């Protein structure tokens, strides 16, 4: 009898350590502003079973002269006779937008964004199913929280849509301090955890130990949570030990021109040009990329610490042929299915 109770206790412990979802809707973020068609990529999306895209429609920034204005507008157009892709219009709002702004200006901002999103949806994606969800992407702070939340309430009311927002790990861990956004659900952004220039020895895109530190809580977040994971990489260029810029390129190709140094770091072997930028021999490069093993560890950590709803969306950031070519189709599919295992 003691053995039976012991087995039951162990089973309860194991069950409590995994909060797997029952069903995952596969999605990608689409963050390009200068592409016009998804025609060539449609086959790849279909083969992955991805039917949902969070497409950045535009960004909102504050200009000293013009005030709050939209920028980086998407040129993408999807025309399909089939409801093969579900588009979630996504708007990136810079935190500065919500500093020193009146409620009247926020009302106008919500009206303008609702109008623009609706216009883009009709003009660029008119033949596919109408969107049921809008997503707002903003890294709000304590000083902008009240204004941002006021804006979200207004947009929710006038749009009549399901409203979601992105949720960084800091406000996820400290909701009593950072507040809970007034939306229907949140997308937990599990990347960009570290200042890329602050800790040169760590991968700023995704460090699993850093992720676990933010997840070290058993308190259930008040909103339904979806999950966003990174499948991108980038190259940080340093000249004379000073950061110059970030290059987005095929990391396997650029490694052929580099000499490895300490972990994540390389030296440029000879003068070369990458993405129309001139690299000199002796320049230093930090390459940050994510492995399949790291993503699996991250997913396991999420399952151990978050009580997921039965149905969730898992979205990978972001859909770019060059970026995701480092992974096989089986690996990409595993980033979705592992949440249900």
Write down the pLDDT at residue 125. Answer: 84
Write down the pLDDT at residue 250. Answer: 81
- What domain range is 245 assigned to? 234-288
**Looking at the domain assignment, is residue 194 inside a domain?**
yes
Cα separations in angstroms, 221 against 20, 84, 171, 310: 16, 32, 10, 15
Contact indicator for 230, 206 with CB cutoff of 8 Å: yes
**Looking at the domain assignment, is residue 7 inside a domain?**
no
Rounded to an integer, the average pLDDT of 262-281 is 91
Judgement on whether residues 329 and 203 belong to the same structural domain of the protein: yes
Q: What's the half-sphere exposure (Cβ side, CA atoms, 13 Å) at 201?
A: 1
Rounded to an integer, the average pLDDT of 125-149 is 91
**Is residue 322 over pLDDT 80?**
yes
Judgement on whether residues 316 and 168 belong to the same structural domain of the protein: yes
**Looking at the domain assignment, is residue 44 inside a domain?**
yes
pLDDT bin (cut points 50, 70, 90) of residue 225 is very high
Judgement on whether residues 193 and 324 belong to the same structural domain of the protein: yes
**Is residue 6 over pLDDT 80?**
no
Contact indicator for 121, 130 with CB cutoff of 8 Å: yes
**Is residue 189 over pLDDT 60?**
yes
**Is residue 81 over pLDDT 60?**
no
% the chain with pLDDT above 70 = 92
**Looking at the domain assignment, is residue 15 inside a domain?**
no
**Looking at the domain assignment, is residue 95 inside a domain?**
yes
Judgement on whether residues 255 and 228 belong to the same structural domain of the protein: no
Rounded to an integer, the average pLDDT of 17-33 is 89
Give the torsion sign (CA, 166, 141, 298, 19).
negative
Looking at the DSSP bridge assignments, the partners of residue 227 are: 188, 314
- How does pLDDT run across 85-136, given as a tens digit for each residue? 899 999 999 999 999 999 999 999 999 999 999 999 988 887 676 789 999 9
- Number of domains the chain contains: 2
Looking at the DSSP bridge assignments, the partners of residue 25 are: 313
Last residue of a domain, one of 272, 288, 304: 288
Write down the pLDDT at residue 12. Answer: 40
pLDDT bin (cut points 50, 70, 90) of residue 10 is very low
Rounded to an integer, the average pLDDT of 159-185 is 97
Judgement on whether residues 157 and 142 belong to the same structural domain of the protein: yes
- How does pLDDT run across 237-250, given as a tens digit for each residue? 999 989 999 988 88
Judgement on whether residues 61 and 120 belong to the same structural domain of the protein: yes
Rounded to an integer, the average pLDDT of 12-32 is 78
DSSP string, 66-126: TEEEEES----B---SS---EEEEEEEE-GGGGSS--HHHHHHHHHHHHHHHHHHHHHHST
Output the domain CATH number for residue 335.
3.20.20.80
Question: What is the pLDDT of the chain when averaged over all its residues?
Answer: 90
* 54/134 Cα distance (integer angstroms): 9
Write down the pLDDT at residue 65. Answer: 85
Judgement on whether residues 127 and 222 belong to the same structural domain of the protein: yes
**Looking at the domain assignment, is residue 4 inside a domain?**
no
Contact indicator for 315, 29 with CB cutoff of 8 Å: yes
Write down the pLDDT at residue 129. Answer: 67
Rounded to an integer, the average pLDDT of 316-326 is 91
Judgement on whether residues 319 and 183 belong to the same structural domain of the protein: yes
Judgement on whether residues 112 and 224 belong to the same structural domain of the protein: yes
Higher pLDDT, 87 or 322: 87
**Is residue 2 over pLDDT 50?**
no
**Looking at the domain assignment, is residue 11 inside a domain?**
no
Rounded to an integer, the average pLDDT of 152-156 is 98
Contact indicator for 308, 19 with CB cutoff of 8 Å: yes
Judgement on whether residues 268 and 121 belong to the same structural domain of the protein: no
Judgement on whether residues 187 and 119 belong to the same structural domain of the protein: yes
Judgement on whether residues 77 and 190 belong to the same structural domain of the protein: yes
* 323/112 Cα distance (integer angstroms): 33
**Residues composing the chain:** 341
Higher pLDDT, 34 or 338: 338
Write down the pLDDT at residue 312. Answer: 98
* 74/68 Cα distance (integer angstroms): 18
Last residue of a domain, one of 244, 270, 288: 288
**Looking at the domain assignment, is residue 73 inside a domain?**
yes
Rg of the chain in Å (alpha carbons): 22
Using a 10 angstrom Cβ sphere, with 0-12 exposed, 13-18 middle and 19 or more buried, the burial of residue 148 is buried
Helix spans in the chain (H) = 2-16, 42-48, 103-124, 145-159, 169-173, 175-178, 208-215, 251-255, 292-305, 321-324, 329-337
Give the torsion sign (CA, 42, 43, 45, 49).
positive
Write down the pLDDT at residue 5. Answer: 39
Higher pLDDT, 241 or 332: 332
């Amino acid at each position: 009898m003691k053995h039976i109770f012991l087995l039951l206790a162990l089973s309860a412990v194991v069950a409590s350590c995994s909060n797997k979802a029952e069903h995952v809707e596969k999605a990608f973020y689409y963050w390009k502003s200068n592409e016009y068609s998804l025609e060539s990529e449609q086959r790849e999306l279909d083969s992955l079973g991805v039917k949902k895209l969070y497409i950045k429609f535009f960004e909102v920034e504050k200009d000293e002269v013009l005030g709050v204005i939209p920028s980086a507008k998407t040129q993408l157009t999807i025309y399909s006779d089939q409801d093969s892709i579900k588009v979630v219009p996504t708007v990136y709002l810079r935190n500065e937008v919500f500093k020193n702004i009146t409620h009247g200006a926020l009302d106008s901002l919500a009206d303008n964004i609702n109008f623009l999103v609706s216009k883009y949806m009709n003009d660029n994606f008119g033949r596919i199913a109408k969107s049921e969800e809008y997503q707002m992407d903003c890294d709000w702070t304590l000083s902008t929280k009240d204004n941002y939340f006021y804006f979200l309430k207004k947009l929710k009311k006038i749009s009549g849509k399901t409203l979601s927002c992105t949720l960084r790990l800091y406000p996820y861990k400290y909701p009593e301090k950072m507040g809970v956004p007034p939306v229907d659900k949140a997308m937990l952004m599990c990347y960009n955890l570290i200042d890329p220039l602050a800790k040169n020895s760590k991968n700023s895109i995704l460090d699993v130990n850093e992720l676990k530190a933010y997840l070290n809580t058993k308190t259930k977040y008040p909103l339904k949570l979806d999950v966003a994971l990174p499948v991108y990489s980038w190259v940080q260029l340093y000249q004379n030990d000073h950061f110059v810029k970030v290059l987005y390129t095929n990391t396997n190709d650029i490694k052929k021109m580099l000499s490895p140094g300490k972990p994540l770091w390389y030296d440029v072997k000879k003068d070369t040009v990458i993405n129309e930028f001139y690299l000199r021999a002796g320049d230093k490069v930090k390459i940050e990329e994510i492995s399949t093993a790291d993503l699996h560890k991250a997913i396991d950590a999420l399952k151990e610490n978050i009580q997921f709803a039965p149905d969730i969306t898992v979205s990978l950031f972001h859909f770019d042929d060059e970026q995701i070519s480092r992974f096989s189709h089986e690996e990409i599919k595993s980033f979705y299915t592992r949440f249900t295992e």
